[in-house]
Amino acid sequence: MAEQGYQMDSVKFSCSICLDLLKTRVTIPCGHNYCMNCIGNFWDDEDKKQSHSCPQCRQTFTPRPVLMKNTMLAELVEDLKKTGLQADLCYAEPEDVACGICTGRKMKAAKSCLVCLVTYCENHLQPHHDVPGLQKHKLVNPSKNLQQNICSRHDEVMKIFCRTDQQCICYLCTMDEHKGHETVPAAAERAEKQKELQVRRQQIQQRIRDQEKDVKLLQQEVEAINVSADKAVEDNEKIFNELIRLIQKRSSDVKQQIRSQQETEVSRASICVL
């Protein structure tokens, strides 16, 4: 099938409970598919509620539906396995934020919910997109420390920033220990801090550019001094070499005069003797 260009999204053939390829595939009344054991164990935990729900869309069923194998889906999954393809799932590495719902090998988290205080992968996040009540929940980028966003005193999300005490607080804090303090929405404070940080970053970058310019000018001055010193040394060597040449020439001339005078005196003395 792969050679014929038939593309299958393997994620659609995975169980949203175990996040693996479907095994003994069953379809429940709402249309979602699960491994028979996975949905069976899930409903076993719900038996005491006397109603059973879909882990994805939360639709409830009473009484507990009878699970029947989905033969067509089973054949599709088997075809998927035969192609050598496996579910192209994004598993969480040690440095990643892992889904808080996944069992076994956990998937990489897509979002964290500040209401549920749970981090979800794409599969387990789906109810927050589909269920009206869950759609109102505040979703943020995945975080390993969700509890840091919750007020330890009131167990509420800290959406307010107290400028007086320079800390995040919840709305209940504004009614007691932070009453009368200067407070703003945390999002507004974050935006303000980011703006200040941007200005500060630009100032630092400008200072770096100015320092780089000063360093460049200093390097140019040092280079000019070095060139001037090299020129002075070269000129000095030329002067001294010329002086040495003149001294040597003068010395040679003097020696020549002395030898010439010596010869003249010797000749005169010899004539006198004769």
Residue 8: band (very low, low, confident or very high) from pLDDT cuts 50, 70, 90: very low
Residue 63 maps to which CATH number?
3.30.40.10
> Is 96 part of a structural domain of the chain?
no
Contact 156, 172 (CB under 8 A): yes
Single pTM value for the model: 0.40
189 assigned to some structural domain: no
Q: How many CB atoms lie within 10 A of CB 37?
A: 15
**pLDDT score of 253 more than 70:** yes
Residue 143 lies in a domain: no
Residue 20 lies in a domain: yes
Q: What is the C-alpha separation between 124 and 129, in angstroms, rounded? A: 10
Q: Is residue 21 situated within a structural domain?
A: yes
The count of domains in the chain is 1
Convert the pLDDT of each residue in 55-80 to its tens digit.
Answer: 888 888 888 888 887 776 666 666 66
pLDDT of 180 higher than 70: yes
Q: Domain containing 5: what range?
A: 1-89
Cis bond upstream, residue 63 (ω within 30): yes
Amino acid (one-letter) located at 242? E
Alpha carbons 52 and 62: distance in angstroms, whole number: 7
Whether residue 63 is contained in a domain is answered as: yes
Interior angle at CA 226, CA 220 and CA 229, nearest 5:
140
What the block records as the tokens of 157 is: 């999300």
Q: What is the pLDDT of residue 27?
A: 86
**The residue count for the chain:** 274
15 within some domain = yes
Q: Give the pLDDT confidence of 125-140 residue by residue, as tens digits.
A: 888 988 888 888 888 8
